[in-house]
């Protein structure tokens, strides 16, 4: 509608509006004061509504149970600190009926292997130890305790977060880059393998990088932590800064952190003022994954991970990255099969069976870990 000239508007005010445009009787006319009186919808509810619309289509009849699990207390795993004496801790945890789900998977792989294919055992690192309580057991771990040298005995984390690290399958003397590393759970797990040749841990956020330093300080002896190169660069620029020098690269990107989004108001990406940032996430994730691929030596491997169920942030990012690597950089990238993880870790986690490229751990009331998506890419020589 054309704007009214000043004089016409003044005349309208004096005379009142033309018939048909008049407001109702004065007693029904009030001005809404949105800022003070409209009830504020919690951001967690907005997130849940968004997930109800999108994930019910993706997960179909699985969604109600995944939804309920996201809204319940999550389960933790205790990543043992191999830099601290662990024997009394393992005894204590085993008395509580917790088991190391990784060594458990080793044992099962050995049994399975008597009749099946070889990649099962070779694909998991044996030095990482993480204790979890059995399915349906919701016992909580006590807080970590310091040893005589002041190093903490374990690190509590979502046990599914270890799967991307296990998928990276670090080998002796590999140079490893953790591109989005803070606050440092996966960096610590990489160090627990005890075989990283060189480890670079980067995160764009200076405040979160400080938390990474604190984790290193609390768990890792001085001579080892000082050998980790910690940087605070924009991961998207990594290749220009450091070139293609790594055997293994972990790209654990920022995402909608689905569990956090439905449970915590603070720092929630579904907040109205963060809409643009949320919409741009798949682009940022793609750029970070591309930087990860470019940082990898020919023949090297990249693991991409998120803690979201969103196909737009998971499989679509992988598809686009493989395509862009080929068309814009003439780099062939192969998506590695990780389906044996589903067999190895079926006692501990619930996996979604319909992923095409990677693997997705679904939260479940009896095993409330995840969500955790991970996919492994190999840069062809």
Ligand X SMILES: C[S@@+](CC[C@H](N)C(=O)[O-])C[C@H]1O[C@@H](n2cnc3c(N)ncnc32)[C@H](O)[C@@H]1O
Q: Which residues bind ligand X (CB under 6 A)?
A: 161, 180-186, 202-205, 208, 234-236, 252, 254
Closest CA to 54 of 65, 63, 45: 63
| Cβ distance to ligand X smaller for residue 109 or 170 | 170
| Cβ distance to ligand X smaller for residue 160 or 338 | 160
| Cβ distance to ligand X smaller for residue 63 or 77 | 77
Q: How many CA atoms lie within 13 A of 304 on its CB side?
A: 31
- Known catalytic residue at 307: yes
Nearest distance from residue 83's CB to ligand X, in Å? 18
312-333 per-residue burial string, b: 16 or more CB within 10 A, e: under 16 = ebbbebbebbbebbeeeeebeb
Nearest distance from residue 82's CB to ligand X, in Å? 18
Estimate to the nearest angstrom the gap between the alpha carbon of 163 and the chain centroid.
11
Nearest distance from residue 12's CB to ligand X, in Å? 53
Nearest distance from residue 179's CB to ligand X, in Å? 6
- What burial class does residue 245 get, using C-beta atoms within 10 Å of its C-beta: 0-12 exposed, 13-18 middle, 19+ buried? middle
Establish whether 186 is an annotated binding residue.
yes
Establish whether 337 is an annotated binding residue.
no
Radius of gyration of the chain (CA): 25
Estimate to the nearest angstrom the gap between the alpha carbon of 251 and the chain centroid.
10
Establish whether 137 is an annotated binding residue.
no
| Cβ distance to ligand X smaller for residue 105 or 182 | 182
**Vertex 291 angle, CA 370 and 340, to 5°:** 40
> Of 196, 255, 307, 350, which one is the catalytic site residue?
307
Q: Do 170 and 176 contact (CB within 8 A), yes or no?
A: yes
Establish whether 180 is an annotated binding residue.
yes
Establish whether 185 is an annotated binding residue.
yes
Q: Which residues contact 75 (CB under 8 A, 6 or more apart)?
A: 132, 133, 138, 158, 159, 367, 368, 369
Q: Which residues are annotated as a binding site for S-adenosyl-L-methionine?
A: 180-186, 203, 234, 252
Residues annotated catalytic, as ranges: 307
Q: Which residues are annotated as a binding site?
A: 180-186, 203, 234, 252
């Amino acid at each position: 509608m054309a704007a009214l000239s000043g004089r016409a508007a003044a005349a309208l005010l004096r005379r009142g509006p033309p018939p048909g445009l008049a407001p109702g009787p004065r007693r029904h006319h009030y001005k809404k004061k949105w800022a003070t009186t409209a009830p504020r919808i919690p951001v967690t509810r907005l997130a849940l509504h968004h997930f109800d619309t999108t994930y019910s289509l993706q997960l179909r009849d699985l969604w109600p149970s995944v939804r309920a699990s996201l809204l319940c207390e999550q389960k933790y795993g205790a990543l043992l600190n191999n830099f601290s004496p662990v024997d009394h801790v393992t005894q204590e945890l085993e008395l509580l009926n917790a088991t190391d789900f990784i060594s458990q998977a080793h044992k099962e792989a050995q049994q399975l292997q008597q009749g099946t294919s070889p990649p099962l055992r070779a694909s998991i690192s044996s030095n990482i130890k993480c204790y979890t309580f059995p399915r349906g057991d919701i016992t909580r771990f006590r807080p970590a305790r310091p040893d005589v040298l002041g190093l903490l005995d374990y690190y509590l984390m979502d046990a599914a977060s270890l799967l991307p690290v296990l998928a990276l399958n670090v080998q002796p003397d590999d140079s490893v880059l953790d591109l989005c590393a803070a606050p440092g759970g996966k960096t610590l797990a990489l160090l627990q393998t005890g075989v990283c040749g060189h480890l670079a841990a980067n995160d764009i956020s200076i405040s979160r990088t400080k938390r990474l330093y604190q984790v290193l300080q609390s768990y890792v002896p001085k001579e080892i932590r000082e050998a980790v190169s910690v940087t605070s660069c924009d991961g998207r620029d990594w290749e220009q800064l450091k070139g293609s020098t790594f055997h293994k690269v972990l790209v654990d990107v920022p995402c909608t952190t689905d569990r956090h989004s439905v449970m915590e108001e603070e720092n929630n990406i579904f907040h109205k003022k963060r809409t643009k940032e949320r919409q741009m996430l798949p682009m940022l994730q793609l750029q970070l994954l591309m930087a990860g691929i470019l940082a990898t030596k020919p023949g090297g491997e990249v693991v991409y991970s998120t803690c979201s169920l969103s196909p737009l942030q998971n499989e679509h990012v992988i598809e686009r990255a493989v395509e862009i690597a080929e068309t814009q950089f003439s780099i062939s990238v192969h998506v590695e099969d990780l389906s044996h993880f589903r067999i190895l870790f079926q006692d501990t986690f619930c996996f979604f069976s319909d992923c095409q490229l990677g693997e997705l751990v679904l939260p479940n009331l009896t095993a409330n870990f995840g969500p955790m998506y991970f996919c492994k890419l190999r840069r062809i020589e």
